[in-house]
Amino acid sequence: MAVKLRLQRHGRKAKPFYHIVASDARSKRDGRIIERIGSYNPNTNPATIELNIDSALVWLQNGAEPTNTVRAILSNQGVLYKKHLLRGVKLGVINEADVQEKFNLWLEEKSKQIESKKTKLKEASNASSAEAFEREQKIRINREEALAAKNTPPAEEADNEEANQDNAVTEIEGQENKEEATENTSTPENAKTDEIAENKEVEQENEANETGDQVKAEEEVTETEKATKVEANEAPAGEGSAKTDSEESSKKDDQKTEA
Instruction: Return the CATH number at 57.
Output: 3.30.1320.10
Question: Does residue 19 share a domain with residue 86?
Answer: yes
User: Which tops the pLDDT comparison, 41 or 174?
Assistant: 41
Q: What is the mean pLDDT of the chain?
A: 79
Question: Does residue 109 share a domain with residue 83?
Answer: no
pLDDT classification of 247: cutoffs 50, 70, 90: low
Which of 48-52, 84-88, 96-100, 154-158 shows the lowest per-residue confidence on average (mean pLDDT)? 154-158
d(Cα 64, Cα 57) in Å, to the nearest integer? 10
- pTM recorded for the entire structure: 0.50
Give a yes or no: residue 8 inside a domain.
yes
d(Cα 122, Cα 182) in Å, to the nearest integer? 84
User: Which tops the pLDDT comparison, 198 or 26?
Assistant: 26
Query: What is the pLDDT at residue 22?
Result: 93
For 159, counting Cβ atoms within 10 Å of its Cβ (0-12 exposed, 13-18 middle, 19+ buried), the class is exposed
Judge whether 75 and 68 are in contact, CB under 8 Å.
no
Note down the domain range covering 28.
3-91
Dihedral, 129, 130, 133, 134 alpha carbons, nearest 10: -150
Residue 57 has pLDDT above 70, yes or no: yes
User: Which tops the pLDDT comparison, 200 or 145?
Assistant: 145
Question: Does residue 81 share a domain with residue 55?
Answer: yes
Give a yes or no: residue 225 inside a domain.
no
Mean pLDDT for the stretch of residues 191-219: 70
Residues written for the chain? 259
Which of 131, 152, 173 is a domain's end point? 152
Residue 259 has pLDDT above 90, yes or no: no
Strand order across the beta sheet in which 65-66 lies = 48-51, 35-41, 15-24, 3-12, 65-66
The CA-atom distances, in angstroms, between 248 and each of 120, 236, 244, 254 are 156, 19, 6, 10
pLDDT classification of 242: cutoffs 50, 70, 90: very low
The CA-atom distances, in angstroms, between 106 and each of 5, 75, 78, 116, 220 are 23, 12, 8, 15, 143
pLDDT classification of 92: cutoffs 50, 70, 90: confident
Give a yes or no: residue 59 inside a domain.
yes
Catalogue the E-assigned strands of the chain: 3-12, 15-24, 35-41, 48-51, 65-66
Give a yes or no: residue 144 inside a domain.
yes
Give a yes or no: residue 220 inside a domain.
no
Mean pLDDT for the stretch of residues 82-109: 88
Which of 137, 167, 183 is a domain's end point? 183
Give a yes or no: residue 198 inside a domain.
no
Q: How many domains does the chain contain in total?
A: 3
